[in-house]
Amino acid sequence: MASMVVISTTAIPDHVGGALSRWLIEPTPGLYVGTVSARVRDELWSAVSASVGDGVAVLIHPADTEQGFAMRTAGQRRRHVIDFDGLQLIRFAANAVDTTPASETASEIVN
């Protein structure tokens, strides 16, 4: 079953944007929106995350969670998605590059 996906990108290579625009529309630069199957979504995300380079990409898609959606990120960024008791929240890193291990959870940060 197809569902809506949103991919936001910053400073990605041109060929990545071209690949995304084959499946999704680009209403503003770097923002791709469309309705695709889970398989196509995962294949697109694999291509984006593998070639994001110095850029940043965020994927938001429907999921069976309390929030109703899931987020995936790729690239160096100041904002990081963390899991807090099943909710995906955004944590800002003090520096542009975060030194916190990816496995650290929000409850460990708070304590």
- pLDDT digits over 53-109, tens only? 899 999 999 999 999 999 999 998 888 899 999 899 999 988 755 444 544 444 444
Fold (CATH) for 3-110: Alpha-Beta Plaits (3.30.70)
**pLDDT bucket at 31, cuts 50 / 70 / 90:** very high
Beta carbons of 20 and 59 less than 8 angstroms apart: no
In angstroms, the CA 24 to CA 78 distance is 26
In angstroms, the CA 97 to CA 105 distance is 18
- Res 77: pLDDT: 80
- Res 80: pLDDT: 87
Domain boundaries, the chain: 3-110
In angstroms, the CA 41 to CA 21 distance is 13
Stronger pLDDT, 76 or 110, i.e. the higher one: 76
> What Cα–Cα distance (Å) separates residue 14 from each residue in 33, 98, 109?
17, 26, 37
- Res 97: pLDDT: 52
3-state secondary structure of 49: helix
